[in-house]
Structure 1
Amino acid sequence: MATVALDQSLLKGAREKAAARSGVADWSTMTDAEIMLRVRDGDDAGFNILIEKYRKPIIHFMFRMVHNQAVAEELAQEVFLRVYRSRQTYRAEARFTTWLYRIATNLGVNHARDTKHERAAQNVYLDQPDPETGTTPDVADSRPTVEYEIVRDERMRAIRQHVMALPERQRTAVLMHKYQGLDYREIGEVLKLSESATKSLLFRAYQTLREKLKDFVVEK
């Protein structure tokens, strides 16, 4: 991505400043918002702390949205560039993670819209191995039988097909809820919805998925 390539020096400069100023503050005693406020006030060491803490989660989140590891890493880089460029206007009015995921969500949605036609001809692997760990969270570690693998693969194809077919907000909410572990309030803050509206949004999304996937539900 051109923007990321042009702004590599921005992150590099921040990291160099962070190295020079390490030890100035006890970051372990601070909340993310407090660290970001220090970054806003010119202490770039805190920016390095936030990158180290959230780089992998943001790559994972972007990967779930774009289904391409290289693109996910580029978009995650752009997320942190936008965080740094916006540091002067940061206000600790909500959780830092809310602000961070809002930036990531907007970037991911815009990218999806811009590349809609390109993605139409590609396979979507919502459940493929994690780009950082190489693991697939939805699959047990025990060695499955051939029959189980066939059923599992068919079920996974159906899940990813129907998740990606959800309306944009429902799809984003499900990705944040299922794969990032965000709660209703956090998702609502990212999507600028009340907690009750977020619950309703996810209820409709999961209701749709249950209906679409009813043939894969095993009755006990």
Structure 2
Amino acid sequence: MDAAGSPSDEQLMHAFAAGDARAFETLYDRHTLPVWRFVQRSVNNSALADDLVQDVWFSLARQAPAYEARARFRTWLFTLAHHRLVDHWRTHKNHTSLDAQTEEGATLADTLAAASGFGPERQLTSREQAQALLDALAALPAVQREAFLLQAEGGLSLAEIAQTTGVSQETAKSRLRYARARLRETLEAHA
């Protein structure tokens, strides 16, 4: 149990492995949005992200009987997402642009700006800033973008990023440091 008295993720995973469907629902409710944002910002396509995240949850369900809590559940879940992305990139070399339009005709920057709740003038500035951030993220080398998104969207620690991506902690730290520096430089140039 956690501090609030609700079961931990690890306890829920063991309960799900034992056949408790509500435990799966609780895990899904707790983690689906951060996983989806990580995947979506990695592939820059909402429909594709939906499919990939669904694959991640199917993988979790398949692996439930053999689950052992060797790391935080969240780290294990983001490792599944990372592996699904790697599989996707191996089979699909084309990447969708960040300024590609959604089914509704809006870009991701439009969506981020509209969610700000500001008036039209502030939304325009917010949209420009959102687009600058998305462009800066897209310009990062894939390994740096992934490290940044695992921390920003997944809330993973440096050690967990290293474990998830299969690199040393020092390599993960360097990737994260370079990603932040590049993002900072790009955004300062935009300001």
Structures share fold, TM-score greater than 0.5: yes
1:96 CA displacement: 0.6
Aligned position for 2:132:
158
Aligned position for 2:146:
172
Equivalent of 2:111 in 129, 139, 154: 129
Q: Hey, what's the Cα distance between the residues in 2 that align with 1:212 and 1:116?
A: 26
Measured on the aligned residues, the alpha-carbon RMSD in Å equals 3.1
How does the TM-score come out when normalised to structure 1? 0.67
Q: Hey, what's the Cα distance between the residues in 2 that align with 1:164 and 1:113?
A: 18
Equivalent of 1:64 in 38, 41, 50: 41
How does the TM-score come out when normalised to structure 2? 0.76
Which blocks of at least 5 consecutive residues in structure 2 are unaligned?
102-106
Which blocks of at least 5 consecutive residues in structure 1 are unaligned?
1-27
Q: Hey, what's the Cα distance between the residues in 1 that align with 2:188 and 2:29?
A: 41
1:194 CA displacement: 4.6
The alpha-carbon distance between structure 1 residues 155 and 46, as it changes in their structure 2 partners (threshold 3 A), is closer
1:198 CA displacement: 2.7
Aligned position for 2:15:
38
1:200 CA displacement: 2.2
Residues 64 and 126 of structure 1 are in contact (CA less than 8 Å); yes or no, is this contact kept in structure 2?
no
Aligned position for 2:83:
106
Q: Where in structure 2 are the equivalents of 1:175-190 lying within 5 Å? A: 175-190=149-164
Q: Hey, what's the Cα distance between the residues in 2 that align with 1:199 and 1:114?
A: 28
Residues 66 and 112 of structure 1 are in contact (CA less than 8 Å); yes or no, is this contact kept in structure 2?
no
| 2:87 aligned counterpart, secondary structure | helix
| 2:69 aligned counterpart, secondary structure | coil
| 1:93 aligned counterpart, secondary structure | coil
Q: Where in structure 2 are the equivalents of 1:42-53 lying within 5 Å? A: 42-53=19-30
The one-letter code matched in structure 2 to 1:74 is D
Q: Hey, what's the Cα distance between the residues in 1 that align with 2:110 and 2:38?
A: 13
Q: Hey, what's the Cα distance between the residues in 2 that align with 1:168 and 1:36?
A: 30
1:121 CA displacement: 10
1:103 CA displacement: 0.7
Equivalent of 1:145 in 99, 121, 128: 121
The one-letter code matched in structure 1 to 2:94 is H
Asked if 1:97 is matched to 2:74, the reply is yes
Aligned position for 1:211:
185
The number of residue pairs the alignment matches comes to: 182
Residues 59 and 72 of structure 1 are in contact (CA less than 8 Å); yes or no, is this contact kept in structure 2?
yes
Q: Hey, what's the Cα distance between the residues in 1 that align with 2:42 and 2:141?
A: 13
Q: Which one has the largest radius of gyration?
A: 1
Aligned position for 2:96:
119
Q: Which digits, 9 at most, give the CA deviation of each residue in 1:135-179, with x for residues without a partner?
A: 64xx4x332527x72x55444333322312222211111122233
The one-letter code matched in structure 2 to 1:114 is T
Residues 10 and 69 of structure 2 are in contact (CA less than 8 Å); yes or no, is this contact kept in structure 1?
yes
